[in-house]
Structure 1
C-alpha cells in the first residue's frame, strides 16, 4: 500500500516556460480602448481604438468611429470631441464588431479599467449573437495598483500614469490615442516586475491578484512533481536540529495530478487564510504517487490520522466513536457506548459526534415507548413506575403494565428499525407529525423531522459500512478514461471494508492477471468485531462511493454485499411513509421481498 516517496526541497532554479506558461516576450497583446455615449450599461460605443503588440513591437492598429444610432450627450461630446455629425456616416456596431474580433483573435486583451471596455464588448457580442472568444484579459489599473507605491503616483488614472512614465502619446479621450498611451504604460509596468521573477502572462495575472512574492517564489517546488495521482505533504524543517528527518508535516492533501495541484497553492486561486500561513511556514513539499485516485484518497486519510497535521481540518478526536447498543437484560434499553464487543447484542452506528447519537436515540424514543431509565429491572418483582409512564412515553415494564413478551415485541421493533427496516419508526411517528402540523406546532414538528432524518442518515451509513465489513474480500475493477493518455483499468482489493491493495492494468496487460497479483500481495486484514469495519468509517465510505459508481465490475467476492430492502429510504419514500405509505412499499410487504444488492 505504501508508494515510493518523491521529495522536493527548496531551490532557486527558474521553472521552465512549459511549466509556467506563455513568456511575456512571446505573448501578443491587443490593447483596446472604447469611447461610448456614457458609462451606463445601456449606452452605446462611439469609437474603437486598438493596438496589437508583441515583444515590444507594434503588429497593427485598429481604429474606427461607430454610429451608435442614439444621441451623444453634449458633456460627452465635449470630453471626447466626438459629435453626432462625426458618427452619422460611420458604420454601425454590427459591422465593426466582427472586424475587431478578427483583429484581436488569439491575443490577450489589455485595457485601462478592463471591466468597462470588456463589459461593453461582451454585451454587444451577446446582443448580436456572437460567441464571446476566450480572451485572456489584463487590466493595467489593477497592475498599476499592485506594482506602484502610493508615494509614486497619487492615483492610477491613465493620464497620471502617462505623465509618470513619459509615454510617447498623451491620452485625450480618443480611442486610438488612449490605446497607444496604454501600450507604453503596459510596457513600463512589465519592466517594473521583471526583477521580481515575473516572466509569463500567467504570472503577471497572478501578480495583479496580489499573490505575495514569497509565496510565488515557492512555485518551483512543484516543478519536478509527477502528473499522477497521489498524496503530497507540506513540511517544515526543524531549525534547531537541521536534520531533514526531523521535519514536521504541516498539511496533507491528495490529487489526481500532483504537479498541477501543488502549483495551485502558489496562485491567487488559493484564498484560504490558514493555507497562506501554512505556505509561509513550509520549507518544502514531499509527494507520494499512488496507483489510483481511490488509493490516494485512502492514503490521505491514513496519513492525516497518523500525523495529525495542524493545518488539516479534521475531527478533534477522530478515534472516538459512539454506538447505540440494545442491552442484554430482562427488559432491554438503549445505551450509548464507545466500544463494540462480541457479546451477541445489537449495535448501531458509528457516530462521530455525541449530538448525532442523541438525535437518533431521541427519534427512537419518539417512535417507540421503550424504557429510558437505567435501573436494573426484575422480571418477577415489580417496582414503582416513573413520570414517563404517566406521560405515556414508556410502557412501564417496571410495574407490570406490559408483559415480558409484549415488551420483547416492542424491543424487536426497535431492533428491526436499526438493522433491517426503518419503516416502523416512520409509521410510528406519522400520526404525531400530522397532529403537530395540524396544531401549527411547527417548531416541534421540525425537531421531530430532524431526528427522523438523523436516523435515516445513520441507517444509510450503517448499512453501507456493515455490508462491506461483512465481506472477507471484494476484487473490483473500473475502466477509466484518461484525457491525453491511454485508458486503463483501476483495480482494488477490499477486505472487511479496508483497501488492501490497488493497481492499474494498462493497454496490453491482462486485468485478471493483475487482479490475481494484487490478491496475492494484498494486506492481510483480520476480521473485525461485530458490525465494525476493519478501517475507519471515512475510508470505508470512500470505498463504498467508488464501488457504487456506474461501470464498476466485480471480479471476485467472498461474502454478501447487500443492504436490507427497507434499511434505507429515499426522500421520496420517506415522504410517502409520512403521508400514508406508498403503493411500492405496500406491494413489497405483500411480496415478502427481503434484500436487494447494494449496487442496485
Structure 2
C-alpha cells in the first residue's frame, strides 16, 4: 500500500473528534444575590479536571456592590459582612477566564451560571472567549430515566452517583459535587458510543434515545467517498429474512455523513422515522465522488427506497415525437421507440412539453390535430386553418405538396438550428412589447425558454450518448487524479490516481477493466437520462482533462443560442 493510500484509509482527527479523556473540563458554580436582572455574583467556585484527575480549583467571594437579601443569605450562608472587603467581579473575571482558558465549561443548569458570566463580560467590556458549554441538567435528562431519579436537581444527582461532596449551596462545594455527577453521566453515555467531545455536545441536544443509540452503526464505516444504504430486515413466518432498502445516500466521507442521521443536525421528519424503522446501515466505497453519485442513482432506481424522494422516478419522462405518417405532427409520448421517428426532449412533465411545443406552433404552422389524415382523400379543415395557424394539408393541393418542406424545417428546429423559432417568435414578442401587451409577451418568453432548454438538453445528452468511449480526468483534492471511463453515456469505470502515480497508466488499466456497454437506440444513452446528465455536467466541469474521445462529442453550432433583448427585435446572440 502506498503512503497516500495508507493516509487515505486512516480517519483524520476531524473525523475522530477530541477523545473525552483528553478534554479539559472546568466545572463552575456561582452564588448570586438572586435570579433577576439586577442580581450580582457573590461567589465563584470552579474545578478543573481532565481524564478523571483534578488539575486545580478556583474559589473566591465577590463583592456584589449591593445588599444580599436575607433569604439568599440564609440559603448560601454568605452575608454582607463576608463580601464587604472582597474584590468586585471586574477584578475577579480576568483570573477566572485565565483559569478556564481553552477548556470546556460545565455547569448544572448552565444557562444560569454561564449567563451571569457572559453578562459580567459585557458590563466590563471583556470579550467572552466562547468556550464550549456542557449542561449536566440537559445531559442527565437525556441519560437517566424517571425510575432512576425523581428529578435532576444537583442534590438528587449527587446522591444517585454517590458524590464525595454533598452540595450545600456554596460555589466550590457544588462545583465539586457537579464533577462527580459529570463523571457518572460520562460513564453512562460511554456505552452509547459517545467517546468524543463532539459526541458529547451533540448528545445534549433533543434527539430521541432510540435514534441516538443507533449512532454506533457509523463507528466502523469507512471515511472514503461512496454510498450508504439504511435497511430493515423483515422476518417471515417460514424463518427467512427479507432485506428492504429504506434509504440510499452518498457522501465524500461515509462515516461522517451517516453519523449526522443520529444527531440534531438532521431535521427532516421522515429521516427520524427512517432511522427508527432501520435495523442497520451498509456502505459501498467508491473510487471517486462521481462514481458515488452514479451508484446512488442506480441503487435508488433498483430498490425504489420508500424514504428517498429525489430520483425515484428516473424513467418517468416525456418526449415530443415528430410522427411518420401522411402529414406528420408533434405528439407527446412516454418512451423513445426504435421506429425511425424524430424524438425531442426529455421533459419532466406534460406542462413543460406542451409549453415547448407551443413555441414551435408559434413559429411553424404545422398541424396540431390528432386525427389520422389521408394523403389521397381530402378532409375538412379545422379552425386553426382559418386563423392561419395551420397550412391545412388535409385539403391536399399546394398545401399538401409544401408540407414536407415545413416538416423538415420543424425537424431542423428540433435538432440543428433554433434561430428560425427565436427569430419568428421574437419578432412577435417585439410587437407585443411595443403594444404594451407585456403579459402576452411574457407567455411567449416562457415558451421560448422551454423550447431552447429542451433543445440544448437533448443535444447535451445525445452528444455524450453517441460516443463509444470518453476517458477524462479531474484533479482530486489530494493532488491525484479522478479518472472516469464513459461509454455511450454510461459510467463504465472510475479510478483514483494517487499523487506520485502515473495517471495515464491508471487510465489504461481502468479502461481495460471497464464495463462493456452496448449502445441502445441512436442518440439515447445506455444509462438513465439522470445518470447521463450527471456525467455531462462532470465533463463540463472546469479543469476536466480529456484523455481519449472515441467519437464526436459536439453540438450543432446554432443550438446553444438564446433570444437577445439588447440587439433589437428578434435578434439572437450566442451564449
The answer to whether the superposition gives a TM-score over 0.5 is: yes
* Residue 145 of structure 1: how far off its partner (Å): 3.7
2:439 aligned with 1:470, yes or no? no
User: In the alignment, is residue 523 of structure 1 matched against residue 515 of structure 2?
Assistant: yes
Is the 8 Å Cα contact of residues 301 and 311 (structure 2) preserved in structure 1?
A: no
Note closer, same or farther for the CA distance 1:397–1:269 as it changes in structure 2 (3 Å cut): same
Question: 2:303 — aligned with what?
Answer: 307
Inter-CA distance 358–28: structure 2 relative to 1 (3 Å threshold): same
Alpha-carbon deviation of 1:540? Answer: 0.8
1:455 equivalent in alignment to 2:451: yes
The alpha carbon displacement at 1:535 in A equals: 0.9
Name 1:480's counterpart in structure 2. Answer: 476
Aligned equivalents of 1:328 and 1:353: distance in 2?
A: 24
Which of these residues, 318, 329, 333, is aligned with residue 329 of structure 2? 333
Matches within 5 A, 1:281-320: 281-314=277-310, 317-320=313-316
Which of 379, 382, 385 is 1:383 aligned to?
379
Shift of 1:554: 1.0
1:109 to 90, 95, 105: 105
* CA 1:423–1:577: 2 relative to 1, 3 Å: farther
Structure 2 CA distance for aligned equivalents of residues 402 and 88 of structure 1: 109
1:306-347 per-position Cα deviation (integer Å, ceiling 9, x unaligned): 232333325565334321112234543211123334444321
Q: Which gives a bigger RCO, structure 1 or 2 (Cα 8 Å, sep 6+)?
A: 1
Retained in 1: the 8 A contact 2:461–2:532? yes
Aligned length: 552
250, 253, 257: which one pairs with 2:253?
A: 257
Cα deviation code 1:193-221 (max 9, x no counterpart): 56666554444333322434443343333
Q: How does 1:23-172 map to 2 (within 5 A)?
A: 23-32=19-28, 50-61=46-57, 90=88, 96=93, 101-112=97-108, 114=110, 135-147=131-143, 168-171=166-169
What is the DSSP-based 3-state SS (H/G/I as helix, E as strand, rest coil) of the residue aligned with 2:414? helix
Within the candidate set 351, 354, 357, 1:358 is matched to 354
Whole-angstrom CA distance in 1 between matches of 2:54 and 2:209? 31
1:505 and 2:497 matched: yes
In the TM superposition, residue 557 of structure 1 has moved relative to its aligned partner by 0.6
Counterparts in 2 of 1:73 and 1:230: CA distance versus 1, 3 Å: same
**Structure 1 residue 449, shift from structure 2 partner:** 4.3
Separation (CA, whole Å) in 2 of partners of 1:298 and 1:126? 56
Q: Take 1:397 and 1:36, find their aligned partners in 2: how far apart are those partners?
A: 96
Alpha-carbon deviation of 1:552?
A: 1.3
Whole-Å separation in 1 of the counterparts to 2:407 and 2:98:
77
Q: Cα–Cα, structure 1 residues 65 and 518, in superposed 2: closer, same or farther, change >3 Å?
A: same
Q: Return closer, same or farther for 1:261/1:36 CA change in 2, 3 Å cut-off.
A: farther
Asked whether 1:560 is paired with 2:556, we answer no
Match of 1:551 among 512, 520, 543: 543
TM-score scaled by structure 2?
Answer: 0.77
Query: Match of 1:221, SS?
Result: helix
- Report how far residue 138 of structure 1 moved: 1.9
State the alpha-carbon separation in 1 of the partners of residues 466 and 85 from structure 2. 80
Quick one: structure 1 residues 149 and 524, their matched pair in 2 at CA, closer, same or farther if it must change by over 3 Å?
Answer: closer
Note the C-alpha offset of 1:242: 4.7
CA drift at 1:294: 1.7
Q: Deviations over 1:7-66 (max 9, x none)?
A: xxxxxxxxxx998654545432223567799978x9999997654333454433456899
> Hey, what's the Cα distance between the residues in 2 that align with 1:115 and 1:359?
57
Provide the rounded CA distance (Å) in 2 between the counterparts of 1:442 and 1:365. Answer: 20
Query: What's the secondary structure of 2:295's corresponding residue?
Result: helix
Q: 1:443 to 1:239 in 2, by over 3 A?
A: farther
| Aligned residue number for residue 348 of structure 1 | 344
Report what 1:216 is aligned to: 212
Q: Which residue of 1 aligns with 2:525?
A: 533
**C-alpha distance in 2, partners of 1:439/1:349?**
34
Tell me: CA distance 1:445–1:280, structure 2 relative to 1, closer, same or farther (3 Å). same
Cα distance in 1 for partners of 2:87, 2:69 equals 19
Partners of 2:251 and 2:289 within 8 A in 1: yes
User: Which digits, 9 at most, give the CA deviation of each residue in 1:403-438, with x for residues without a partner?
Assistant: 457655554453343223434434444455566677
How far apart, CA to CA, are the structure 2 residues paired with 1:186 and 1:26? 15
Matched residue SS, 1:500:
strand
Cα distance in 2, alignment partners of residues 410 and 86 from structure 1: 101
Instruction: Tell whether the 8 Å contact from 1:168 to 1:184 is kept in structure 2 after alignment.
Output: no
Aligned-pair distance for 1:275? Answer: 3.0
Look up the SS of the partner of 2:537 in the other structure.
helix
Structure 1: gaps (5+ residues): 1-16, 589-595
Contact 1:258 1:287 in 2 (8 A): yes
Indicate yes or no: 2:561 matched with 1:576: no
Q: Secondary structure at the match of 1:362?
A: helix
For residues 336 and 75 of structure 1, the distance between their equivalents in structure 2, rounded to whole angstroms, comes to: 83
CA RMSD of aligned residues (A): 4.7
Say if 2:166 and 2:174, in contact at 8 Å, map to a contact too: no
TM-score by length of 1: 0.74
Distance in 2 (CA, whole Å) between partners of 1:333 and 1:89 is 92
Whether the 8 Å CA contact 1:501–1:523 is kept in 2: the answer is yes
